Amino acid sequence: MKARIHITLKKGVLDPQGKAIAKALSHLGFVGVEEVRQGKYIEIDLAGSDTQTARAGLDAMCAQLLANTVIENYSIELDA
Amino acid sequence: MKARIHITLKKGVLDPQGKAIAKALSHLGFVGVEEVRQGKYIEIDLAGSDTQTARAGLDAMCAQLLANTVIENYSIELDA
């Protein structure tokens, strides 16, 4: 089973990396870039086929290790 | 217009960060994790409403700045 996890900064949390990208794009001559936010994308291959167990496990992984839930949100997509 | 960009390592390129995550998860007691690959996720707010221009611009941004196309793939999703 394959899981795709997106970890993004919560709204209102400053994103210096995103700001740096926006500035670099503008220096390169790209116009019309209003805001850039950078997050993380993690793909996990899991053994087993029980979607419910997998989702519970992934939720615990995000809460315990992958995301800093004080400042980050995460979302989990599961492919069977 | 909002663009979501995923940047992932190409198949066959070693991913030490993913390996570290997999090891950390196993140390935390999570079983069944077979492989972890970490990528980047970038959200860009763009001015204008022409999808075709936006996509061309985003493609250039990825090729010139956001992705290292020697070892990384990128994919672009556009919301109107």
d(CA A16, CA A14): 6
A35 and B44: CB-CB below 8 Å? yes
**Res. A2 pLDDT band, cuts 50 70 90:** very high
d(CA A47, CA B50): 43
Q: Which residue do the tokens 């390169």 mark?
A: A28
d(CA A35, CA A16): 11
Of B30, B42, B64, the CB nearest to A38: B42
Q: Which residue do the tokens 């001559």 mark?
A: A29
A42 and B47: CB-CB below 8 Å? no
* Residue A80: strand, helix, or coil: coil
Q: Using one digit for the tens of pLDDT, what is the confidence trace for A17-56?
A: 999 999 999 999 999 999 999 999 999 999 998 999 999 9
d(CA A10, CA B17): 23
A and B: number of Cβ contacts within 8 A: 96
Q: Using one digit for the tens of pLDDT, what is the confidence trace for B31-77?
A: 999 999 999 999 999 999 899 999 999 999 999 999 999 999 999 99
pTM (2 d.p.): 0.92
Fold of the domain spanning A2-79: Mth169; Chain: A , (3.30.1280)
**H helices, E strands: number in chain B:** 2, 3
Domain ranges in chain A are 2-79
Using the 8-state DSSP alphabet, how is residue B10 labeled? Answer: P
| ipTM of this predicted structure | 0.91
Q: Which residue do the tokens 């960009």 mark?
A: B5
